[in-house]
Structure 1
Amino acid sequence: MKRLYKNKYRVDTFRWVNWNYAWCADYFITVLTYDKQCFFGEITDKKAQLSKIGEIVKNEWEKTFEMRPDMNLTMGEYVIMPNHIHAIIRIGKNEFNSQNSLNDINVKSKFGPQSKNIGSIMRGFKSSVTMKARLINSNFKWKTRFHDHVIRNNWAFYNIEKYIIENPEKWKEE
């Protein structure tokens, strides 16, 4: 539902209201390009063939985990498709997350500084890709937001991981 905030329409969040996105958990992330433009390559014989911008996405995603050792991040499966990336990222126990995991959802999340969480990770990733991608194509743009999902159990983890791995096989250009 859209609401007015400072005379502008604002879309309600799809995020889990009682969840702190710095907490220890596995997260399923999807980030799309603006207007689903295929900047990252193409699918040939059911495999992703990355463009130069697609290679930037790959390098920056992998660098994300090296750059943030203090957050105890683990890179799960990921796939770069022509116009989006799907990935699993784990935030482990670290000095910035006071709560432990799904077991702690009874505690109401407090809106606080937006650093050392999924949002800050994705802002940094999208920003670094944008700066480098625009050197190749000045029209490069991400969709404003990204989709995230807290993976709540092993069954869900398995299904999401399978979905990511099989994504190139199911690609149909829109």
Structure 2
Amino acid sequence: MYNFTRKSNRLDNYDYSSNGLYFVTVCVKDMECLFGRVDIENNLVILNDAGRKVDFYIQKIDEVDNYIIMPNHIHFIFRLDKDSENKSVQRIVSGFKRAVSLDFGFSPWQKSFHDHIIKSYEDYANIWNYVENNAHKWKADCFYIE
């Protein structure tokens, strides 16, 4: 019998509870557009009821520095510091996904999440701009589904 082991997306030997900035993307299972639609002309995501529920749970996460809810994924910038005791990127994302899943009555999420450790101010500024302009670039986004 073959045992499949999922390859971790996390950086080996890195402490994801360390003080720092992290860029995280959480995707909807099968890239289904569950959270709303994009008004490209106005650089705006129009959230539906599910998207507004997701936004409610994001508002409860103290470590969120910036975010955007797209129709089928969410981008976060997390800031962990001395006030983030006993928190890690994994715990924050897992808690968020669990809360939304319980509210929805099913899990809308793809397994795991994508992360990037932000290492410089330039990196941070580029990611911040990416998050802010994500709706405007929706049709060119790798997660775009018509």
Q: What TM-score do you get using the length of structure 2 for normalisation?
A: 0.87
Structure-1 residue corresponding to 2:30: 35
From the superposition, tell whether residues 161 and 95 of structure 1 become closer, same or farther in structure 2 (CA, over 3 Å).
closer
Q: Does 1:132 align with 2:103?
A: yes
How far apart, in 2, do the equivalents of 1:149 and 1:162 lie?
15
1:19-168 superposed matches below 5 A: 19-44=14-39, 45=41, 46-65=43-62, 73=63, 75-94=64-83, 96=85, 116-134=87-105, 141-168=108-135
Amino acid at match of 2:120: N
Structure 1 contact 27–88 (Cα < 8 Å) conserved = yes
1:10 Cα deviation after fit = 1.5
1:35 Cα deviation after fit = 0.3
CA deviations on 1:12-48 (whole Å, 9 max, x unpaired) are 2232213100000000010000000011000023310
Amino acid at match of 2:94: R
**Deviating 4+ runs (over 4 angstroms):** none
The number of residue pairs the alignment matches comes to 139
Structure 1 contact 23–93 (Cα < 8 Å) conserved = no
How far apart, in 2, do the equivalents of 1:16 and 1:34 lie?
23
Structure 2 runs not aligned, ≥5 long: none
Percent identity over paired residues? 32
1:80 Cα deviation after fit = 0.4
Structure-1 residue corresponding to 2:136: 169
How far apart, in 2, do the equivalents of 1:158 and 1:83 lie?
24
Structure 1 contact 39–83 (Cα < 8 Å) conserved = yes
Q: Give the RMSD, CA atoms, in angstroms.
A: 1.8
* 3-state SS of 2:134 partner: helix
1:76 Cα deviation after fit = 1.4
From the superposition, tell whether residues 171 and 24 of structure 1 become closer, same or farther in structure 2 (CA, over 3 Å).
same
Q: What TM-score do you get using the length of structure 1 for normalisation?
A: 0.74
